[in-house]
Structure 1
Amino acid sequence: MLNLSIILEDSARNAPDRTALVLGDLRLPYSMVDTVANQVANLLVSRGIGKGDKVALACPNVPYFPFVYFGILKAGATVVPLNVLLQSREIVYHLDDSDAKALFCFEGSAELPMGARGREAFDAVEGCEHFVVLPATPLATESEYGESFWAALEGMSGEFETVQTEPDDAAAILYTSGTTGQPKGAVLTHMNMLTNAIVSDEMFPTDPDGDVSFAVLPLFHSFGQTSVMNVSVRRRATLVLQPRFEPDEALELMRRERVTMFAGVPTMFWALLSKIHTDGAEAPSTLRVAVAGGASCPVEVLKDFEATFGIPILEGYGLSETSPAASFNQLGRPTKPGTVGFPIWGVEMRLVDDDWSTIEGEGPGEIAIRGHNVMKGYYGRPEATEEVLRDGWFRTGDIATRDDDGYYSIIDRAKDMIIRGGFNVYPREVEEVLMMHPAASLVAVVGVPHDRHGEEVKAYVIPSPGATASEDELIAWCKENMAAYKYPRIIEFRDSLPMTATGKILKRELR
């Protein structure tokens, strides 16, 4: 028997009074987090949801996320975390594709109407039978969108005997598009997730006075879920939640809560440094560990951060399919700025060519990974799984070089994928939505350099004959049909697009 929820149960048993979660003035001990998770598990079982069933969770970085996440695991079910920026159409796809039987959805706000979007999607999916609203108003027992979380938990016991799951059973399905087509669900097992959290945790020394981790990376994303939430819960740390990154508030929270660990994407580090240098904000003095991932961090940012905060940023590499951590610049060994370090414990990496043959020496080549972190496969997609998995090796699509010390450096990303502000944007998905507009005859989407976001999404459009739609009209239409981080901010109309002899668009020329 192995269940990822043991990290919460162990911390609640051995440090029940230690503060687990902080959100504003709210402070919750480990004992309470575990009790509410037990109530969630009892609720699921009472509604016929258990081992092998899928339960979707759409929630920002607020206490509901760990409550529901660990409750689903305790019930033996599989968590399907959803990006909080998804539109209704996109939520429908994820619920359908994952065979989710229930959706726990945060109520949201006027600016982010998650409750309305979630309800609309739930009503459109026949197989999803239960919709529970996570109210924005604390402890509210009613919601205009459906059954309130707190009303649903009424009468549910705070004790629960965790369902026995096997190491190879699915703990979570994390959606990633890879590089093409509709998003695919990477099936991560209890062994994948638990081992990755343990190994990631043990790479950094524990503060004897108790670690305080800053959680602004979205917990629905593999980086925030494993490297922040699960690592922190496992080491009985305090998790300071920030639902949306704001550099002023982030610095104030770090100072007030005496944060010791921070993981973020490069744009977050850049924003913190900008606030300090431009506004004279004070850098927190308690930070001991800073971790960057999601995109390559500019060397100048790495240097500036170390000079300002007195500690290096440790860069790592991973994917949703690898739970996510695969390689890292680790404490106790020389840090090499601009590299993603070397494989973590229990993980192998090599460079391969198109035929899976190993490339010796420096490379370049495509990174292939084997170890405890590699996913079980893509949910319901055996052919897509066979394309990327062979003899336990997972080929990432990322091109890298390797130096004599075994440190890897990413030199190109998986084909045409765009990374905007740490979020993966997959051009084909954007293209397919744009092509639904009557004014668009042919579309090619690429990433273009952007000072703050790293890359911005740009669409080249051949207009339909007689079409009169403007750039602003197409952008507004995309905004209504795609998550905020996906839709193109730049549209350029063209009479033609560069192509190969076989009709394939040459995106490298557009870039």
Structure 2
Amino acid sequence: MALEPWPTNKWPEGVPREISGFNKPLFTVLDESAKKYPDQVYTIFNGATRTFFQVKNTADRVADFLVSRGIGKGDRVAIFLPNLPHYPAVYFGILKAGATCVTCNPLYTPPELNYQLKDAGAKAIFCMDHPLFYPTAVKSLQGTQVETVVICGVKSYLPRLKGLIGGLLGKIPKAERHEPGHFFFDDVVAAARPQAPSVQIAPDDDPAVVIYTGGTTGVPKGATLTHSNFVFNLMALNEWMRIPQETGGKPEKLRQGGFHCFLGALPFYHSFGQTIVMLWSCFTASSVVCIPDPRAGNPPFTGVLESIQKYKVTIYPGVPTMFVAVTNHPLREKFDLSSIQGCGSGGAPLPAGVAVQFEEKTGSIIFECYGLSETAPLATANPSNKEGRKFGSVGFPVSNTVVKILDADTGLKERTQGQDGEIAISGPQVMKGYWNNPGSNKEVFHEIDGRRFFLS
């Protein structure tokens, strides 16, 4: 069904109203970047780097290991990790095995994680070797289907000298003890074959990721997102963001193959950080600086400023508090932040004053977006230029997307301009449904004019 053109001349120049070609497995994003740019750096962590070839090689080995453990299509595997360089390899490895990722908040308590593992029916979990995270994972296993636990240590992902000295001084975090029968990530990778199994994926139907959401308003629900949901999101985002990438240059889509470096401070377990940072950097064959704790440093957030300067970060996705943290940081003037070119803001309204201050200090452009975990997450966005954007607005529905405002009581009657209502979204990014929750699915999906709408 063709989309009607927007009755405005502010639709971003060059952005197509409709795109195609997104019905393919999500892991092909990594495969394609590794094929075109094998030696390009993908992850950066404390100065240590991993190329796209290395990440793909590790992902293939993770997939081979999972299959050897009897895990494949139709199974779920949990990722209980902060923003470590292991994350993309584990994530894509699970997908390459044909299984579904269940991304978990690393700050969960044992009861919270236990609920998620039970509800998703996870058969395996990847967790960090850490005095807090690993014991939490162990305590959460009771009554679950988890039979495979993989412990991810950071020593081998640090620069060699830093890893050696840190190990000798006992400064590298690790759990006090490990349960028998649990696997270490480095051993898994070393023993597995660098060959992912051949799996048949139906991109529009097969779930790639289950992201739990809504815990503040009730029992968390697992938003089940397909491979196509994510690939569409990446393609739409890549078409939408057009910025000058050199002094005096014209706005254009992000150049690929090492032209950009993303700040990886948003958590990868969440749809915002997962898609806009970890996956989009992969899609564009760019680097991503993995930052497990953006509050690190003295005063807090100093580590982020150091990373921006050291690695010349160009793309800064964040929530409003992250932009406030930069503009109000007492040491801001000591750091060169001029490398930043484009910033996407979401999660909450961005005060215009904060945006203006941030742009004045960095020379960048901030544009606000709107979305949810249920839309993987991008649904609407402001134009990525100062002339077209509008503060206090979430912008336009992105390509292939229809947004309506419906009455909140029935979710059926469309409201007129100026009336309050509930946002309803239809497009290729809308989730398949909530995991194992037919009651909620019946409430949030309505068909209007032949289109399937999600009621937010």
Query: Pairwise CA RMSD of aligned residues?
Result: 1.9
Which residue, out of 370, 387, 409, partners 2:426? 370
**Aligned pairs for 1:171-186 within 5 A:** 171-177=208-214, 180-186=217-223
* Residue number in structure 2 paired with 1:352: 406
Deviation at 1:91, TM superposition (A): 0.9
Question: SS state of the match for residue 84, structure 2?
Answer: coil
Q: Is 1:54 matched up with 2:110?
A: no
Amino acid at match of 2:209: A
The residue aligned with 2:145 is 127
2:365 maps to what in 1?
312
Contact 2:446 2:453 in 1 (8 A): yes
Render the CA deviation track for 1:390-423: whole Å, top value 9, x for unaligned.
1210111xxxxxxxxxxxxxxxxxxxxxxxxxxx
Equivalent of residue 206 in structure 1, options 248, 251, 254? 254
Could you list the structure 1 runs, at least 4 aligned residues long, displaced by more than 4 angstroms after superposition: 139-143
Which of 282, 298, 301 does residue 233 from structure 1 map onto? 282
Q: 1:337 matched to which residue of 2?
A: 391
Aligned twin of 2:160? none
Q: Deviations over 1:35-69 (max 9, x none)?
A: 00000000010011000100000011111111100
**Whole-Å separation in 2 of the counterparts to 1:33 and 1:295:** 33
Query: Does the aligned pair in 1 maintain the 2:365–2:384 contact within 8 Å?
Result: no
Aligned length: 391
Q: CA deviation at 1:302?
A: 1.4
Check conservation: 2:366, 2:384, Cα contact below 8 A.
no
CA contact (8 A) 1:3 1:164 kept: no
- Aligned residue number for residue 133 of structure 2: 114
Corresponding letter in the other structure for 1:240: V
Q: Which residue of 2 aligns with 1:326?
A: 379
Q: Write the distance in 1 (CA, Å) between the matches of 2:144 and 2:260.
A: 44
Of 182, 187, 192, the match for 2:224: 187
Question: What TM-score comes out, normalization by structure 2 length?
Answer: 0.82
**AA paired with 1:379?**
W
The answer for unaligned runs of 5 or more in structure 2 is: 1-22, 158-166, 168-173, 242-252, 296-300
Sequence identity of aligned pairs in percent?
36
Q: Of 59, 74, 80, which residue of structure 1 is paired with 2:96?
A: 74
Identify the residue that residue 321 of structure 2 maps to in structure 1.
Answer: 267
Amino acid at match of 1:340: V
Local SS of the residue matching 2:328:
helix
> How far apart in 2 are the matches of 1:136 and 1:117?
18
Which residue identity is paired with 1:144?
A: H
Whole-angstrom CA distance in 1 between matches of 2:143 and 2:188: 21
Spell out the pairing of 1:459-474 with structure 2 (5 A cutoff): none
Structure with greater Cα Rg: 1
Name the structure where strand makes up a greater proportion of residues: 1
CA distance 1:45–1:325, shift in 2 (3 Å): same
**In the alignment, structure 1 residue 96 sits paired with structure 2 residue 114:** no
Q: Which has the higher contact order (CA 8 A, sep 6+)?
A: 2
Q: What is the aligned partner in structure 2 of residue 29 from structure 1?
A: 51
Structure 1 residue 152: Cα displacement: 2.5
Q: Which digits, 9 at most, give the CA deviation of each residue in 1:215-260, with x for residues without a partner?
A: 1100000000011111110110011111111321111111111111
CA contact (8 A) 1:95 1:125 kept: no
How is 1:289-308 mapped onto 2 (pairs within 5 angstroms)? 289-308=342-361
Q: Which moved more, 1:338-347 or 1:136-145?
A: 136-145
Match of 2:273 among 224, 246, 258: 224
Q: CA–CA distance in 2 between the matches of 1:343 and 1:190?
A: 21
Q: CA deviation at 1:154?
A: 3.2
